[in-house]
Structure 1
Amino acid sequence: MDLVNWQAVLQDDFQVPDHTPLDKLTTELTELLGATDPEVRDGLAYPTLATWIERGVYDDLLPGLGDGMVAGLKVGLGEREDDGVFRRSFSALILTECIARDTARPLVLGGKVLQWGDALATWLLRERDRRGFVPDKGWAHALAHGADGLGALARSPHLGAAELTVLLDVIADLLLQPTDVLFAHGEEDRLALATLAVLRRNAVPMTVLEPWVNRLSDGARLGPDDGTDPFLRSGNAQAYLRALYLQLALGNRPPAARADVMLVLVGALRETNRTLREG
């Protein structure tokens, strides 16, 4: 049985109920993050926790809340097309909110944020459920939510050039993983936005960025015809390179390296689309 009438909380502009301890409310909301009903998960649990974080309700408890979300990243990890993905994916979203709150108002030691980042990256690379929209259950979208988390980490002052480079490597590792699922719900755009957050820090030099793009370019080539679907090997990396180019071309607040990165991207896109141009 619910501790409170959560619909009443929503209708009362997310005011914190004053008759139930916050820790008990948080435990219930955390469990509801894994609900298969999108009205409960997306429409109630997530916005309530996110709003309370933004309003400072958890400012004195932020390290513990973030650690609780890290624990949620491990629930059923490794399973495919299992309902555990909702708890993992929405735990990542709330962890993203925790990181963003610390960036807006320093509340957590830098080492703790780096621990959260390591847990987020580890989960994202080990996540095997790549479904976007699940019929009757709504958004799973683990890769997109993980990308949002990487973007929040990129904006954290606790990360310097070395840590930002690691974020880029995580993105590349994810894109180059063997997969049987191509992006279909904007995952490449969310990853490109996370990359843009890294680039806007103006801390990673072109001596790092150019070989990083070239690594992705190698993975975006169709390759020889060996009887398998070549787009499963190259499609996600190719879609990402295009999305990143578009974000750099059209986005506001361009990073200092915008022109240089776009030049490298153009070369990568020309090279990896040679067959299409010649066909």
Structure 2
Amino acid sequence: MQGGMDVPADRGLDEYTVELVEMLGHPNPRIREDLAYPLLTTWINRGVYDQLLSGLGDGIAPGLRYGLGHDGDVSVLRRSYSALMLAEIIGRDNNEHLMSSASVLDWGDRATAWYVREQDHRGWIPEQGWANAIAHGADLLATLARSRHFGRLELTVLLDVIADRVLTPTSYIWRHGEEDRLAYAVMTLLHRNALDPSIVEPWLARLGQGIKPPRTRGHLEAEWPPPAVRNTSSFLRALHLQLALGVQGRDDLRSDAELFAEQPAHRADLILAVLDQIRAEQPWLYRPTTRARPLG
């Protein structure tokens, strides 16, 4: 397929683009994943759409609302791959500085409105391939977190959206690394060094509150933990591991070398804050925080 990545000359680019965007929701993964997505991504990264990037994003963004609220049908494919394509478009702007703030902020609003309302958390679907809306949405949020158009206020909103997404009740337990992708989005945001602990630590406490078992004795009315609590717990552990080990940027994003060159500011404090939430989930299991003994 590499030899066929050039824009064909027999029809106009607009006509091909409309057709490929429609294919992003196709139930056949060979059409969606092996044809439409790689072709559009290659043309974006080659600069084919550089003068048309705003229009391309405006054409793809409505796909985030296609069938929104449905669960278990093919409409999730269009939503999920629209998110993935918007990440590619914004990533191109992050590299080349082609877009106005208005366009990127508008797409950010649409992305966050979709993400907290997405009901279909399926990863792999037999015969249809990857849906993976939660992971693809996390990738989009990570790309937005890199954007020069996103300042302290917008990054704070992204942080809250991630908490809303993780804590919202669902029947799905994440099984395909969704928590890792979301934690990486948070790490990308933290590497911007725009938010201090007075914002991040209460955010972590909100997540920790969501995983504490109910204070009751004897019979529980429902299974514990429910899927959303389990997902939140997995997310906090993933975030702790990424803070402890460190993460790296992507080779295809020029600014990542500088963005990820150093650990985030306040990293040590944030590691302890995450550990406090993890420890509080199972206080009978973990040793309490070690405190220095007073002298004398």
Query: Normalising to structure 1: TM-score of the pair?
Result: 0.93
Mapped partners of 1:31, 1:132: distance in 2 = 21
Specify the code of the residue in structure 2 equivalent to 1:231: P
Structure 1 residue 222: deviation in Å? Answer: 2.5
CA shift for structure 1 position 185: 1.0
Residue type at the aligned position of 1:229: E
Corresponding residue for 1:3?
Answer: none
Deviations, residues 35-71 of structure 1 (Å, cap 9, x unaligned): 1111111111111111111111100111111111111
2:11 aligned to 10, 15, 20, which one? 20
- Aligned with residue 231 of structure 2, among 231, 236, 239: 236
**C-alpha contact (below 8 Å) 2:81/2:136 kept by paired residues:** yes
Aligned mates of 1:222, 1:21 — CA distance in 2: 59
Runs of 4+ in 1 over 6 A off after TM superposition: none
> What is the identity, as a one-letter code, of the residue corresponding to 2:279?
R
| Contiguous gaps of at least 5 residues in structure 2 | 248-259, 288-296
The letter of the residue matching 1:49 is L
C-alpha displacement of 1:276? 4.6
- Equivalent-residue separation in structure 1 for 2:137 and 2:68 (angstroms): 14
Listed as ranges, the matches of 1:35-46 within 5 Å are: 35-46=26-37
Q: Could you say which structure has the larger radius of gyration? A: 2
Structure 2 counterpart of 1:73, from 43, 47, 64 = 64
SS in 1 for 2:82: helix
What corresponds to 2:96 in structure 1?
Answer: 105
TM-score (norm 2): 0.88
- What amino acid maps onto 1:99 in structure 2? I
Asked if structure 1 preserves the Cα contact closer than 8 Å seen for 2:119 and 2:170, the reply is no
% identity of equivalent residues: 49
**Partner secondary structure for residue 19 of structure 1:** coil
Aligned mates of 1:18, 1:210 — CA distance in 2: 55
Paired residues, what number? 269
Describe the superposition over 1:173-216 as per-residue Cα deviations: whole angstroms up to 9, x where unpaired. Answer: 01111111111111100000000010000000110011000000
Of 240, 243, 250, 1:245 maps to 240
For 2:205 and 2:111, locate their aligned partners in 1 and report how far apart those are by CA, in whole Å.
25
Amino acid corresponding to residue 271 of structure 1 in structure 2: A
Give 1:271's match in structure 2, choosing from 280, 284, 289. 280
Determine the structure 2 residue equivalent to 1:190. Answer: 181
What letter is aligned with 1:259?
A
Q: Is the 8 A contact 1:183 1:236 kept in 2?
A: yes
Shift of 1:73: 0.8
Tell me what 1:260 maps to: 269
Choose which of 25, 48, 52 in structure 2 pairs with 1:34.
25
